[in-house]
Amino acid sequence: MADNQTPLVDIRHLKEYFYISTGPFTTKPLKAVDDVSFTIRRGETLGLVGESGCGKTTVGRTVLQLYKPTGGEIWYDGKQVKTARDLKEFRTKATMVFQDPYSSLNPRMTVSDIIAEPLDVHGLYKTKEERRERVLELMQYVGLNSEHASRYAHEFSGGQRQRIGIARSLSVNPEFIVCDEPVSALDVSIQAQVINMFDELQDKLGLTYLFIAHDLLVVRHISDRIAVMYLGKMVELADADEIYGHPLHPYSKSLISAVPVPDPRTARANQRIALKGDIPSPLNAPSGCPFRTRCPYATDACAESMPEFKEVSSGHFVACHRTAEINS
């Protein structure tokens, strides 16, 4: 058992490449996740943000080994997840809430069976009655009524379906949950309810989250620390308030400048930093720093080498050759 100083989740140099056919006998690696490292402390929420296609979801799925990692190490509670036995044990402690509540639930199963599926897989009950009681307890956690148990997923709204998905993820009594854009498919009014429920469950059950989203306001509300990704690479990582108040990477600055502000005066004073060009294809990523083709500060050095992801102040990590000059 690890001590309190050991991170619950420790990801080291994670890589996930998909080999794409480019001709009759040739393939090319699509580097969806390329050398990403981070830690998550017990009871913490790490937010992971970036544009669509930057590799956020792939990070979450690779951490849980729904995709077999191309490279790197996954450590959980001070122990490396390496063998099939390690992975089986890891999956009773780490689960996932998927983005789309419409496609992640089996339409042929009742709500009761959907929630109990992980209990069935891992054999976590002795009697049918114990299984039923656990299902009803989980439904109560997420605000569903006991009479919902015998219904089917199509009878529910999007918000209720997502609650079913969350109840399923809690069934094995996990410590760590990967939340993959869990509110992006929901109405704004429902988003707030679901986010607040995540907060309450974290306090009640002592959960640790990797919270993946592209809505920066949602991420700021729920996260202790925020990591910013661009084209398969991590470019910045810091406390949530630090990222919002003092972003150091040019890409983070642009993302934060796009966040709507409810006060009209502040909004008018804020300078929107628009990026030029489109995000490059991960199949033909630029050499060196992947952001250099859209960066107003790029120099020749940026094309020659990928900047090191290093700590520039306490707990604030950035991957940029010109951090000091840009922020002086």
Q: Which residue has the tokens 């059950």?
A: 205
Q: What is the CATH code for 9-93+174-326?
A: 3.40.50.300
CA distances from 308 to 35, 36, 142, 318, 321 (A): 11, 11, 42, 8, 8
pLDDT tens-digit map of 239-274: 999 999 899 999 999 998 887 777 677 667 677 777
pLDDT tens-digit map of 281-301: 888 888 899 999 999 898 999
Tens of each residue's pLDDT in the chain, 328 residues: 344 578 999 999 999 999 999 888 899 989 999 999 999 999 999 999 988 888 999 999 999 999 999 999 999 999 999 999 999 999 999 999 998 888 889 999 999 999 999 999 988 889 999 999 999 999 999 999 999 999 999 999 888 999 999 999 999 999 999 999 998 888 888 888 999 999 999 999 999 999 999 888 889 889 999 999 999 999 999 999 999 989 999 999 999 888 777 767 766 767 777 788 778 888 888 889 999 999 989 899 999 999 999 999 999 999 999 998 888 7
Six token digits for residue 10: 């420790």
Q: Is-above-0.95 flag for pTM?
A: no
CB-CB contact of 74 with 7 (8 Å)? no
- Where are the chain's structural domains? 9-93+174-326
3-state secondary structure (DSSP) of residue 24: coil
